[in-house]
A and B are shown apart, each in its own frame.
Chain A
């Protein structure tokens, strides 16, 4: 059985709670906007961006269609380079393997690099049960761990905390020598974390990490990071255990020339992230002398079996789709109640745990398509969403639990895809809507649609169709000799 944190609340309930939290909304708004702007700037620098995206997609497709072949090649390469390979069908099995390895080295403390995969399998909790303390070493993870919470963003998990909250968490939880005279200036907060963690890095016997990529051809594993805690964990302790989802594979070393361009620019909006470590098994007298790679299924093979849903496994966890998503920007990661939030969470989590356990997630989107445009590996998120929605509805119909709004959405989606797929139909529909909507507009938004469509507005306030569409405006602007697309962005 696979375990991912199964959404307990439905997305709609959790989103209502999150929307009421103004601090969270303010932080998220600022964060997503900052990253969005940075990303757009550095992506704009790259003339061959679309070529890179297509190559990234194609490499992932090649890998997934021949995953068995490449996994065996990876196993061989890692072993040849002096590493050990373990296979784990589910979370429990992976946790068991890691716990046993740690116990074999007779230590009760490990240092950890942020990894969504280890969060997905609940590794820290499993280690705690075996009386092993896992120290999270990313600043944000440290904050989250000390505050006893779950992360809300792939990349900036503590995006929902502001500096004075962080200061308080540190004052309450770190030893006095690390927080003497602590202010809420970010550099000061970082210094407290540095001093708190340094002794742990220098003395730890075992480190645990995830992996961004692993190369079948050479057995090279890679961790992309910013703070240097990754390098610390990957270099100093004598034993390294890395837990990796089986989809993180890439066939050849050369493929890094694509992903080392796509990932940093899409993720933090940098030309290159500050630190990336690549290691191939063990290196004599340099870094860990024992290396274990745990290959994790935990629902991935299920996802692979769905020909449309499979593309979710292309994901390189850059979080660009989160930052661009209007739904995510307003609700934050916690509303998704899963390790993988945002648009990617909406298509990945239901597939990993089964749509029957996360039925509301595929509906957490307005299908605006912005996520597809920014995705560096061209995952067609809207396509997978619609596909999964249909799956959920079919399931519910089978179980005679047809919820009006979900059922109607099936109808609406079919109509919408018919309309959206053709420009003339789309424009005609817009014109029609502008006239037809008048009776339902209240206070600048549509909050109650009539008849069969009422279910739609119980969970959404619709913005009325504007009097002038973007296309109309654009055409007029072009006709007036208006400026280029670049001018529009601001």
Chain B
């Protein structure tokens, strides 16, 4: 039997059997006739500052390190963190704002490598780096989650995965209160652009050994977050 035949057979058999199995469903019933009550919170009612504080609290709760600065201080903060961590080879997506790296560039000991879709670094190269610096698409306060959608300042997925350290910049206006707000905001990315998404809540972890939480199995073992208050006057 050829492949095409087999696929055709399996598909039509399965669909036929499903229809037979659902003989109790009236033929006139449409999917939307089965009621789905969305009787749960759709919007956060918390104040902006409370949302930001909750994001920080829950992100720290999941063992990430969090800093909070104004936009004008961002480049300085990034340089301080890299220095404190003794990062010498730092991966960045090629569209990362120059301004973020302004202070790092002055420091000879830190070598930044830009990765792009057209000129990607090899996995081995990423593995040999000390860490990666990116922005994000969105963040959720209620769960302490950072969302990457391979969009602006985030690069392709591999660069935030292979290095052992991830420094992530989150602007306060990117933080939503609850999960439904984030899912709604991501709809266009998924439907129109079909970009892959990654939800990150703390560094990777396992509880497989006697249920003790161990940080860092395969993803970056350290996640550090800079929460940034946008400065209306600054250009980024």
Contacts and interface: CB of A to CB of B under 8 A. Distances in A.
Nearest to B17: A301
B118 interface: yes
Contacts of A162: 210
Interface in A34-51: 34-35, 47-48, 51
Given A218-B194, A253-B191, A275-B219, A30 B211 contact: yes
Contacts of B7: 86-87
Interface residues on A, range: 35 or more
Nearest to A281: B194
A162 B210 CA distance: 6
Interface stretch (B71-79, B84-92, B99-107, B201-209): B201-209
A88 B208 CA distance: 32
A287 interface: yes
Contacts of B142: 271
A255 to B, nearest CB: 9
Interface centre among B13, B158, B217, B219 (most CB of A within 10 A): B217
Given A139-B217, A274-B200, A59 B209 contact: no
A230 to B, nearest CB: 9
A59 to B, nearest CB: 5
A166 B208 CA distance: 10
Contacts of A54: 37, 39
Contacts, number: 262
Interface in B179-230: 179-180, 183-184, 186-187, 190-191, 194-212, 214-220
Nearest to B209: A186
Contacts of B233: none
A48 B39 contact: yes
Contacts of A89: 10, 13-14
B214 A66 contact: no
Interface string A232-270: 100110000000001000010110111011001000101
B217 A227 contact: yes
Contact of B207 (A81, A220, A268, A301): A268
Given A65-B34, A86-B7, A89-B14, A194 B217 contact: yes
A286 B13 contact: no
Interface stretch (A5-13, A196-204, A425-433): A196-204
A130 interface: no
Contacts of A69: 31
A156 B190 CA distance: 31
A327 interface: no
B22 interface: yes
B142 to A, nearest CB: 7
Contacts of A228: 161, 204, 217-220
Nearest to A225: B204
Given A186-B210, A274-B204, A283-B195, A236 B219 contact: no
A189 B10 contact: no
Given A156-B208, A186-B209, A227-B204, A286 B117 contact: yes
26 contacts: A31-B210, A31-B211, A51-B38, A65-B22, A140-B206, A156-B207, A158-B208, A187-B214, A190-B214, A198-B127, A226-B207, A228-B204, A229-B218, A231-B161, A231-B198, A235-B161, A253-B183, A254-B184, A268-B207, A271-B144, A272-B145, A275-B199, A280-B195, A285-B120, A287-B196, A295-B14
